Amino acid sequence: MKERRFFVNPFRIISPKLNGEVVRVDEAHPVNATDMTCLEEGLLIMLDKLIEMTSLMHRSLIEVNREKIVKFGKLAQEIHAEEKSLTGDLVCSPSTAGEVLRALVLFPGRFERIGDMLESIVNVASIKARDGIYFSEKAHEELAQLHKTFLDILSNFRTVLTTRDRELLDYVISQGTMFHQMTLDFALAHEDRLLQGLCFPKASSLYLDILDSAKVANRHVMDMSHTLAQLADSLQDT
């Protein structure tokens, strides 16, 4: 049986005090920015909220619900506040963290950008509902597939942050590559539907806006995943 590979936790290099708080970190986190104790916990808090926002975002594309939109907006505001708190703490970290700090300093901002892309998609959903614009059944099927895959990517990336499982990290990267290709394929399929008169012209730019936002959100997860992979290799060699 092949032995699973794990990499050194780069977050503990910056926040060694976390060693006694593993249980706290691995729980769900309805926590505010001011309650965070370190980078790793803060990222998990943000990621939990991004996962919830992703679910709310997809439901908004099916049927806009005022209560869910308000909840989504609250989570988005918390993500913005947490990014500022975490990035500020990182900038003030000891310079002895060196290249590890340099590699991780953009993680909170990348999480915030993922939230921005989810907000952009929810804005599209609101415009779609306001103007009575309909997506084709095929478009909804494609968006459901993207949603399922992106949730899988976020959930597994969260697991990578807590377990440092290198095989799972490689899986996340492969899923991200597949997700990117899906957005390209769906854009081409949409173009064919538009030319064949199977897509509502008013829906075209909205649908493409969603694909673009999804592509950018995925790119940020991939950038962080590749950074972790490079860190894993460099820390293993030291």
pLDDT tens, position by position, 93-116: 554 457 777 788 899 999 999 999
pLDDT tens, position by position, 180-195: 999 999 999 999 999 9
CA proximity to 47, closest of 154, 153, 163: 154
This prediction has a pTM of: 0.87
Which residues are 191's β-sheet partners? none
Q: Which amino acid is at 3?
A: E
CB 40 within 8 A of CB 18: yes
Q: Is 200 helix (H, G, I), strand (E, B) or coil?
A: coil
Q: Where are the alpha helices (DSSP H) in the chain?
A: 10-14, 22-25, 39-62, 66-91, 98-104, 107-130, 137-163, 166-195, 201-237
Residues with Cβ within 8 Å of 200's Cβ and at least 6 positions away in sequence, in order, are 133, 134, 135, 136
- The 3-state DSSP composition of the chain as helix, strand, coil percent (nearest 5) reads 80, 0, 15
Burial class (CB in 10 A: 0-12, 13-18, 19+), 2: exposed
CB 31 within 8 A of CB 78: no
Residue with tokens 């909170």: 108
* Spans of the chain, pLDDT less than 70: 1-4, 6, 8, 12-37, 91-97, 237-238
